Amino acid sequence: MKKNISLGLVLVMMMSLMVFASCAKKAPESEETPMGITTGTGEGAEAESEAERQRRIAEEEIAEDRARQAEEEKAKFLDTKIYFAFDDSSLSAEARETLLAQARWLKENRGRTVVVEGHCDNRGTEEYNLALGSRRAQSVKDFLVNAGVELSQIVTISYGEEKPAVRGNNEEAWAKNRRAEFRLR
């Protein structure tokens, strides 16, 4: 009988150990700070915070790429020049094609105001060249408005022959000076 009691006690003790072992407290996966902010302390929280960090880095890289692309598009917009024939303010087929891209950029950037500058070569009187530069800037503006750009986004100015792109008195220099340029306000 003593043997049965001893055996019974051993069994009870083993069962008790198993119950206590299975009820042991797991390590918390997160802790709450006094301000109610949950912080990760377990493996799941570490993996989650690593995933969150990777997501944040990816989002930052995407934002940087978009900002860089926007700056490149803005620079391309500003570097574009529309060239004109001698004593002419009409737009060539190439100029109209280029202006369609300019119109797209302006429609995507409705908050931006562009100044269209009209320029001429140094032949002709100052008054005549100012008027011709004005007609050139106006023809660019008219095209952009007809392409869907808001009228309020475009301002024109004529510099006539005051701001040559190239100095010189030959056809090559004159051709580069008969132009319209873009500047953002």
**Using the 8-state DSSP alphabet, how is residue 46 labeled?**
H
- Whether the pLDDT of residue 127 is over 60: the answer is yes
- Whether the pLDDT of residue 15 is over 70: the answer is no
pLDDT score recorded for residue 46? 73
Name the average pLDDT for the chain: 86
Amino acid at 6: S
pLDDT score recorded for residue 169? 92
With 0-12 CB in 10 A as exposed, 13-18 as middle and 19+ as buried, what is 106? buried
pTM: 0.69
Task: Give the model confidence (pLDDT) of 75-115 as tens digits.
Answer: 999 999 999 999 999 999 999 999 999 999 999 999 999 99
- Whether the pLDDT of residue 170 is over 90: the answer is yes
